[in-house]
Structure 1
């Protein structure tokens, strides 16, 4: 299972995300870096994990404001693939994000206007340049898309799988930053129901045990931030996890 560090951007800083409650997000306070400057935070996360991929959520953009263009350009100078959620809702925005330097544009259901638009965005950039994220809150799909509103996450995922998509983030906002572990019941049910797809766990990975459990379940990757900043998962833990999987 690939360990994918997360940077949440808000008002020009890297912030600590908690349960998706953005009004209470504050600049990151970390055991591995003494600043909330996004580029410095990214370098610190890369130093701990040696990651190949890093996830960025531009929370201003997701809430309908301007992208962190200069910050994103700085981040894209690092030697990793960035997967970026900038609240894109149309083909032009997807293309602009990939042309800026994002490896893959995240198509989050939170800001997705419709399933037909998801198909248009994937077609515009190429399916290898987009990554759908099924965003979940309070046990249902979080979305602007009428076809997905009110659905159980597994039913929402089924609609996306039926579109020919095969790699997804399952992002349960309720567990983000809590230290309580991922949404294991949803992840386990999704793996059972859709054994042929690749799933990245979004939110809640908090310990080396979570890394082992995710790997045993067959998850492709896991997003984490709080555990790295607080030292719950260390560079030694990351190394040990990779050696166990080798």
Structure 2
């Protein structure tokens, strides 16, 4: 049943270490304590998670950058170098397309394996959204994250209502479910699926079990971002 949904493991990076998400409250994140990984070293944790999920993609949230600090380019480059078969989905608080281009340039040797995640909480304006996705191309190296917390959209750029600008890769990010064990937000995912029937739809937050993954697949998810359920041994190792 678990194989029906593509699992994308997540690492949250803060000052060079992997930390544990707590309901999306970034001030409460602390170095990871995991039943699966006995380390908070990014490369060590990433290898173990990707191996456990038989994953070809890894989602990285750069919390330094998301909180207005410098992007952890050295750590990111180390991950890309150590994991040559992995596509890295990178959320680094990108405000517009030029910021994304600049970051890709700084990671130029690995650019073909980077999917830039533009989050609705970070995009500065509707114009910025249009410049990222308005050409109507199927950009295989970018994704849009539709972010919300406690029922409120985090969306200065108006991404949630700009359905015509949505790319082919969409993340439904319910931040208060991240690291919560509260179950996935399937109602919001179904709403987005109705609006974007042809998109690759990735959910985030709340997964506790294989049963949750099965319900997520039935609701229209193609993939799910997972971390806490892996560290707590709630999901079995995938054999492929």
Both proteins in one fold, TM over 0.5:
yes
Map residues 165-180 of structure 1 onto 2, 5 A cutoff: 165-180=167-182
In the alignment, is residue 82 of structure 1 matched against residue 82 of structure 2? no
Q: Indicate conservation of the 8 Å contact 2:189/2:220, yes or no.
A: no
The corresponding residue for 2:102 is 96
- Deviation of 1:91 after TM superposition, in Å, equals 2.6
Map residues 137-148 of structure 1 onto 2, 5 A cutoff: 137-145=149-157, 148=158
Q: Indicate conservation of the 8 Å contact 2:190/2:220, yes or no.
A: no
The corresponding residue for 2:186 is 184
- C-alpha separation between the residues in 2 aligned to 1:117 and 1:193? 22
Q: Indicate conservation of the 8 Å contact 1:166/1:198, yes or no.
A: yes
In the alignment, is residue 114 of structure 1 matched against residue 125 of structure 2? yes
Which residue of the other structure, out of 50, 54, 63, is the alignment partner of 1:50? Answer: 54
User: More helix by proportion, 1 or 2?
Assistant: 1
Unaligned residue ranges in structure 1 (runs of 5+): 149-155
Tell me, what secondary structure is at the counterpart of 2:143? strand
The corresponding residue for 1:151 is none
Q: Cα gap change, 1:164/1:85 in structure 2, threshold over 3 Å: closer, same or farther?
A: closer
- Please provide the CA RMSD for this pair: 2.0
In the alignment, is residue 194 of structure 1 matched against residue 196 of structure 2? yes
Q: Indicate conservation of the 8 Å contact 1:98/1:129, yes or no.
A: no
Tell me, what secondary structure is at the counterpart of 2:234? coil
- Deviation of 1:208 after TM superposition, in Å, equals 0.6
Q: TM-score, normalised by structure 2?
A: 0.88
Deviations 1:159-203 (A, max 9, x none): 1x2125232100000100011211112112322343233210011
- C-alpha separation between the residues in 2 aligned to 1:45 and 1:169? 20
- C-alpha separation between the residues in 1 aligned to 2:120 and 2:102? 19
Corresponding residue pairs, total: 228
Q: TM-score, normalised by structure 1?
A: 0.86
The corresponding residue for 2:13 is 9
The corresponding residue for 1:135 is 147
- Deviation of 1:234 after TM superposition, in Å, equals 1.9
Unaligned residue ranges in structure 2 (runs of 5+): none
